[in-house]
Amino acid sequence: MLERFFVLPTTVDRIRASWIADQIEQYVEWLAEHEYRPRSILRRVPLIVRFGEFARSHGASHFEELPSHVDAFAKDQIRKRLRPCSKQLARRRLHADITHPIQQLFRVALPDYSRDVHAGTVSQPFGSQAPQFFDYLQEQRGLKKATMRLYRDHLTTYEQYLRQAGIKDLTHLSTDAIEGFITWRSTQLSPTSLRGLCSALRLFFRYLYREQILDRDLSSAIEAPRAYRLSTIPRSIEWGKVREMLDSVDRRSALGKRDYAMLLLLVTYGLRAREVASLRLDDIDWRSERLQIPERKADHAATFPLSPIVGEALLDYLKSGRPRTTRREVFFRARAPRRPISHRVVSLRASYYLRKIGVEVHRPGSHTLRHSCAQHLLDADFSLKVIGDYLGHRSASSTEIYAKVAIEALREVALGDGEEIL
């Protein structure tokens, strides 16, 4: 397999002389099977050979011992660069570029590899002092995985904040360390997100007090900000901008064909990113010209007429852009490894095209197009009840926000006494 990518016999001999040559060849076979480009393989293999030499020089004698040397190797490679990385963001990206292929090797060659376990790091924030907290959230509180991920992110940020403040032991906490963190995060989060942060901290401190890790309950020191319903407006854009965004997609490539089909689904049906990412071939009924969305947020299904424009875009992608695979998901990564996309990819691609045409909107992404679909329906004089059903809202209160984008009606109210509107 190595001869397929490396032309010089001396290069192949040097790779096979490595003490981890068997694992490297296994990794190369995996890369080729998942349709990685030769250029990517040529870049990854020498890096892994250097990593093997580095780990062996630092005492590693078995492949299972290598994960503990990853961070040290990445720091060593960054330090040896001819052009040092002065910016923290650039250093993080370079660190990721170095460690990602190595961790990928471990996932291929090491059964049940876990980055956190093998790297010797704590997988959960405050894991050394409150190791059972996330088990408590799952088993006793019954929180969903998405909520637990959000709590983990909040507490990881708090742990880093305390570390920078020189506080390593939770028993040394004071109310000032809590209030200072919330004040700092208030400059970065919306009021709604800040309320979520305060909820996570309150629950965490109640748990610490209940488990007698702290001798007093600090949750009473946390006061969440007020968040008012309907205090904002939907982040929609004009329909003319929607057309401009769709026209900006280069549909000559597989990536463009995929993105165009995804964007049409977002703006035509007001789908969420998760609903687009989870779409399967079985959900498209070509004979009856129907599109089924089986798993919506409100735990119900929806069926839409298959728009000719959407159908043509999907056919173009399925015939000329989608990789050949036995899997039933519709949308796949355009690059290796060829696996189904996540909802994050859907939102990021929507954000990319919105920025491409110069749209200035708060947090551009897939929900911007969902809001634009709702506003388009509102401009066409559909009722809020119809719009709510179309978007898959469980409650009418979720659709009330779109009443604030009835610009013409609001303008008439503002200019007159409002009697005709009422």
Distance separating alpha carbons of residues 159 and 172, to the nearest angstrom: 13
In DSSP notation, 380-411 reads TT--HHHHHHHHT-SSGGGTGGGGGG-HHHHH
Distance separating alpha carbons of residues 77 and 80, to the nearest angstrom: 5
Residue 297 annotated as catalytic? yes
Catalytic residue among 44, 202, 349, 367: 367
- Tokens for 16? 């096979």
- Tokens for 300? 């119900």
Chain-centroid distance, C-alpha 318: 25
Collect all residues with Cβ–Cβ distance below 8 Å to 57 and sequence separation of at least 6.
none
Residue 100 annotated as catalytic? no
- Tokens for 344? 């994050």
Terminal-residue alpha carbon distance, the chain? 76
Report CA Rg, the chain: 26
Distance separating alpha carbons of residues 66 and 312, to the nearest angstrom: 50
Residue 333 annotated as catalytic? no
Taking alpha carbons only, the member of 328, 330, 303 closest to residue 389 is 303
Distance separating alpha carbons of residues 349 and 364, to the nearest angstrom: 10
> For 302, phi and psi rounded to 5 degrees?
-140, 150
Catalytic residue among 297, 356, 363, 404: 297
Residue 402 annotated as catalytic? yes
- Tokens for 213? 């890790």
Catalytic residue among 69, 370, 371, 376: 370
Distance separating alpha carbons of residues 421 and 191, to the nearest angstrom: 33
Catalytic residue among 272, 322, 349, 371: 272
What is the enclosing helix (H) or strand (E) of 305? strand 302-305
Distance separating alpha carbons of residues 31 and 41, to the nearest angstrom: 7
Catalytic residue among 36, 158, 353, 402: 402
- 126-135 long-range Cβ contacts below 8 angstroms, 24+ apart: 126/155, 126/159, 126/170, 126/204, 129/169, 129/170, 129/213, 130/170, 130/204, 130/207, 130/208, 130/211, 130/213, 132/211, 133/204, 133/207
Collect all residues with Cβ–Cβ distance below 8 Å to 58 and sequence separation of at least 6.
69, 72
Catalytic residue among 118, 251, 349, 393: 393
Report, as residue numbers or ranges, the catalytic residues: 272, 297, 367, 370, 393, 402
